[in-house]
């Protein structure tokens, strides 16, 4: 069991009891050594979890203490914050607001050491003019994929040819510095990836579509005959 998961389980074991529990009993439940339990208890106390211990009696959470429902190690916290900042910078306004709110909640329960680590995070996700321009399109596409609504759009392909397409949007894919919407194209009668920066005037239609075993994102991933426009 990974350490972060073990710490989470350890806190839950303590949270679920009114009386103390010994290191031996905790070790049996978590299938680790008592020495590991001692180290884990020390790590939790250093992180600010209010644990009381007494020799021969065991450990318990201090009465009235509040423990955050999730416990993460340093790298997991940094990964979460980085992901939230990418969402905030590169998707639509609604998801950006949700990501910023989630980051505030996570930061509020972090010990000082992890807060300092966040300040030194070397990754930065700038909000560019291109990402701002695509923000509203992200929101519209997310709605189309979620509600399974057909979409009409003007598109300029890789050869510079313009066309109007009716598509069944299946997923929004990130390719590093580019986003595409994966869709079934009625004109081409096949899967196509449409680059968002080549899409103009996207319009949600009232018509719904249905996915199937041979028409879905999972099927696309297993196909060998897809291509990008």
Choose the most confident range, by mean pLDDT, from 15-19, 63-67, 131-135, 175-179.
131-135
Residue 61, H or E segment: strand 58-61
Q: What percent of the chain has pLDDT over 70?
A: 93
pLDDT of residue 96: 94
DSSP H helical ranges for the chain: 3-15, 23-30, 34-46, 74-90, 93-108, 112-119, 129-147, 217-222
Structure confidence at residue 129 (pLDDT): 87
Q: Would you state the pLDDT for residue 225?
A: 55
Q: How confident is the model at residue 71 (pLDDT cuts 50, 70, 90)?
A: low
CATH of region 3-61: 1.10.10.10
Residue 26 near residue 10, CB atoms below 8 Å? yes
Mean pLDDT on 111-122: 85
CATH class of 129-228: mainly beta
Mean pLDDT in residue range 72-82: 85
In this prediction, residues 211-217 reach a mean pLDDT of: 95
Torsion of CA 26, 27, 30, 32, to 10 degrees: 160
Identify the CA nearest to 14 among candidates 48, 46, 62.
62
Q: Tell me the C-alpha distance between 35 and 191, whole Å.
A: 56
Of 222 and 109, the one with more pLDDT: 222
Q: In this predicted structure, what is the pLDDT of residue 215?
A: 95
- Using DSSP's 3-state secondary structure scheme, residue 220 falls into helix
When mean pLDDT is compared across 20-24, 72-76, 127-131, 184-188, the lowest value belongs to 72-76
Strand partners, 208: 149
Parse the chain into domains and list their residue ranges: 3-61, 74-119, 129-228
């Amino acid at each position: 069991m990974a350490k972060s998961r073990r710490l989470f389980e350890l806190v839950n074991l303590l949270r679920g009891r009114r009386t103390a529990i010994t290191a031996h009993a905790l070790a049996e439940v978590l299938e680790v050594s008592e020495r590991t339990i001692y180290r884990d208890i020390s790590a939790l106390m250093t992180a600010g979890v209010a644990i009381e211990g007494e020799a021969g009696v065991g450990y318990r959470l201090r009465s009235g203490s509040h423990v955050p429902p999730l416990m993460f190690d340093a790298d997991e916290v940094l990964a979460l914050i980085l992901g939230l900042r990418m969402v905030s910078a590169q998707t639509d306004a609604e998801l950006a607001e949700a990501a910023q709110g989630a980051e505030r909640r996570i930061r509020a329960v972090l010990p000082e050491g992890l807060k300092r680590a966040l300040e030194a995070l070397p990754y930065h996700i700038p909000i560019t003019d291109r990402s701002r321009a695509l923000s509203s399109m992200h929101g519209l596409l997310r709605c189309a994929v979620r509600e399974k609504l057909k979409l009409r759009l003007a598109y300029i392909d890789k050869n510079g040819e313009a066309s109007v397409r009716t598509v069944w949007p299946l997923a929004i894919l990130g390719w590093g510095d580019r986003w595409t919407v994966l869709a079934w194209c009625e004109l081409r009668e096949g899967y196509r990836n449409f680059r968002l920066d080549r899409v103009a005037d996207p319009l949600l239609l009232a018509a719904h579509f249905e996915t199937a075993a041979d028409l879905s994102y999972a099927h696309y991933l297993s196909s060998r005959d897809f291509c990008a426009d």
